[in-house]
Structure 1
Amino acid sequence: MKIAYLGLGIMGSGMVGNLLQAGHSVTVWNRTPDRCTPLVEKGATQANTPAQAVANAEIVMYCLSNEEAIADTVFGEDGILSGVHQGQIAIDMSTVHPNTSRREAVAYAEKGVEFIDAPVFGSKNESATGGLWIVVGGKKEVFEKVKPILEPLSETIHYMGETGMGATMKLVGNAVVISQIEALGEAMILAKKAGLNPQDVLDVLHVTDFKSPIFDGMGSTLVKRDFSTSFALKWLLKDANLIAQLAQDNNSPIPAIALARETVKAAVNHGWGEENASAAIKALELQAGIEIK
């Protein structure tokens, strides 16, 4: 299959590697061209513009950082929409507001191109190993066509309904993630201030009926003071803002998530936005006057 893949951050680079390993012909593009080099060395072809990247593709895939990147890469000059043609299928794997997905679907339909929104759960390791969890919105028959393309990238794939429902599910899932990060930070700080050993606490959290992979992974990095980036804190804030917008759109209460969003915002404002999402807990540590270690 001829695939164009645009956006080679932590997530996109891993996905392209798995597409190449699955035997697909992949043309890549990234705003920072140097990021294409390792994938070209593995057999990908590099394009100079989004329009050039998608010109000869059967499937157009992209994972972009935010709504502004979608505006530039999809709708902008020499963007994807200026290069696509009838018969292609576009797959947006970015985390965006569902209204953005719906806007994309309308624009692609005018070009005779089918569209699905297919954001992913997981981060650096899952992207590299084909272990992502993908949630999809769009026409069911289009989903069935592209499912074999998504399978080498994923542990599971979930069809959620019409256009925008994949994007909606991603924000709902990230609401849980943000809440868990806040809960982990508050609980670990309380434990430390009350005299418990943080590693002993993590050992208990690992085996209880409320255990969580997020508690395991982030808890360990907190104790080690390792905030190397798998998913940047600044993107967690972006997602928290999108969740707040979605909640407002639906008149849905999110008091706990709103509180967690303020923690994330404070951490970004302290200059930790490029660090891992677990750096949000540093803002709570500042309030407490301790570090979890």
Structure 2
Amino acid sequence: MTDIAYIGLGIMGRGMVRNLLSAGHSVAIWNRTPRDLPPELAAATVAPNIRVAVQGKPVVFLCLTGPDAQLAILTGAEGVFAAADKGAIIADATTTDPHLTKELAGEAAKHGLRYLDTPVFGSKNEAWEGKLDFVCGGDKAAYDEIRPLLDAMAASVHYLGTTSNGAAAKLVGNLLVAAQLSSLGEALALARKSGLDPAALMGYLDVTDFSSPLIRGVGRATLGDNFDPSFYLKHMLKDARLIGAYARSIGVALPASSTTAELYQAAVNRGLGDLNASALHKLQFEMSGLD
């Protein structure tokens, strides 16, 4: 059993805590805003502040909304870096800027801490069922030390190498997710406007060589008008902006992804930000004259 602190109890964090508890670990939890917690998290200790949550814990996990939240939670006099015990491993699953990841790792080292970037692929269901995919960067010895904890939450775990490689790999993957969602919305608009039967359409999209779990699952949800949030559209916009800024900083041209990012901005402006990321399809349907 490992004593763990977990910071950030959003859609992803709650599921990850559930699986750490199920694996027999002791978990202290803290979130910036109070949240109603499911019964499965009853065994976790709710800490009143960051310092109480992380002190005495050899491992601190985080999953936050982005760079601003990271800076607020990790740095400063009351942040994780100041409060954690020397030698502790800080495993950060936040989707963020790889340049910031390097800065945070350097700041952690000044406090005698070991910082790993450990972002994840998956959404609410995968987090709850322990079927996330981790992409990790940082010190290999620290990674090896927490690998059993990652396995408790994961379908797969991948070590990408030095600090920030996990963060960069996460942006690579999210670029593909954003592109698939956008192209799927256009394809479904074309299918609907052509009068294709939804069941028959999905029947062949299930088995073609260009299919994917995203096409199969999200396609059915969209055609069933189900946009309950597993990953907020506003967070996909945040990730699209991170991808664009990072690509520009290293001289990579992303013309198609830039257009996709503007579609997500338009969808947020349309008031769809608190729906699932696939609610982009509502905007695409509207653009095609569909309900």
Is the contact made by 2:82 and 2:111 (CA closer than 8 Å) also made in structure 1? no
From the superposition, tell whether residues 134 and 16 of structure 1 become closer, same or farther in structure 2 (CA, over 3 Å): same
Q: State the distance in 2 between where 1:219 and 1:76 align.
A: 44
Instruction: Give 1:40-51 correspondences, 5 Å limit.
Output: 41=42, 43-51=43-51
Gaps of 5+ in 2: none
Is the contact made by 2:233 and 2:264 (CA closer than 8 Å) also made in structure 1? yes
Asked if residue 214 in structure 1 is aligned to residue 214 in structure 2, the reply is yes
Q: State the distance in 2 between where 1:29 and 1:208 align.
A: 45
Q: State the distance in 1 between where 2:261 and 2:199 align.
A: 26
Equivalent residue letter for 1:206: D
Equivalent residue letter for 1:112: G
Is the contact made by 2:233 and 2:276 (CA closer than 8 Å) also made in structure 1? yes
Asked if residue 90 in structure 1 is aligned to residue 85 in structure 2, the reply is no
Partner secondary structure for residue 34 of structure 1:
coil
Partner secondary structure for residue 271 of structure 1:
coil
Is the contact made by 2:67 and 2:96 (CA closer than 8 Å) also made in structure 1? yes
| TM-score, length-scaled by structure 2 | 0.96
Asked if residue 81 in structure 1 is aligned to residue 95 in structure 2, the reply is no
Aligned to 2:264: 264
Q: State the Cα distance separating 1:287 from its structure 2 match.
A: 1.0
Is the contact made by 1:2 and 1:25 (CA closer than 8 Å) also made in structure 2? yes
Is the contact made by 1:49 and 1:79 (CA closer than 8 Å) also made in structure 2? no
Q: State the distance in 2 between where 1:84 and 1:36 align.
A: 25
Is the contact made by 2:132 and 2:155 (CA closer than 8 Å) also made in structure 1? yes
Q: State the distance in 2 between where 1:123 and 1:31 align.
A: 21
Partner secondary structure for residue 60 of structure 1:
strand
Equivalent residue letter for 1:269: N
Aligned to 1:115: 115
CA deviation map 1:172-205 (0-9, x unaligned) = 0000000001110111111222232233222111
Q: State the Cα distance separating 1:124 from its structure 2 match.
A: 0.5
Q: State the Cα distance separating 1:66 from its structure 2 match.
A: 1.4
Is the contact made by 2:114 and 2:142 (CA closer than 8 Å) also made in structure 1? yes
Q: State the distance in 2 between where 1:125 and 1:280 align.
A: 20
Aligned to 1:235: 235
Is the contact made by 2:81 and 2:113 (CA closer than 8 Å) also made in structure 1? no
Aligned to 2:24: 23
How many residue pairs get matched? 290
Aligned to 1:185: 185
Aligned to 1:12: 13
Is the contact made by 1:61 and 1:93 (CA closer than 8 Å) also made in structure 2? yes
CA deviation map 1:99-151 (0-9, x unaligned) = 12111111110111111100000001110111000000001111111101100
Is the contact made by 2:12 and 2:123 (CA closer than 8 Å) also made in structure 1? yes
| TM-score, length-scaled by structure 1 | 0.96
Q: State the distance in 1 between where 2:146 and 2:72 align.
A: 25
State which drifts further: 47-56 or 232-241: 47-56
From the superposition, tell whether residues 37 and 194 of structure 1 become closer, same or farther in structure 2 (CA, over 3 Å): closer
Aligned to 2:169: 169
Is the contact made by 1:199 and 1:223 (CA closer than 8 Å) also made in structure 2? no
Gaps of 5+ in 1: none
Task: Write out the 4+ residue segments of structure 1 that deviate beyond 6 Å after TM superposition.
Answer: none
Of all paired residues, the percent bearing the same amino acid is 42
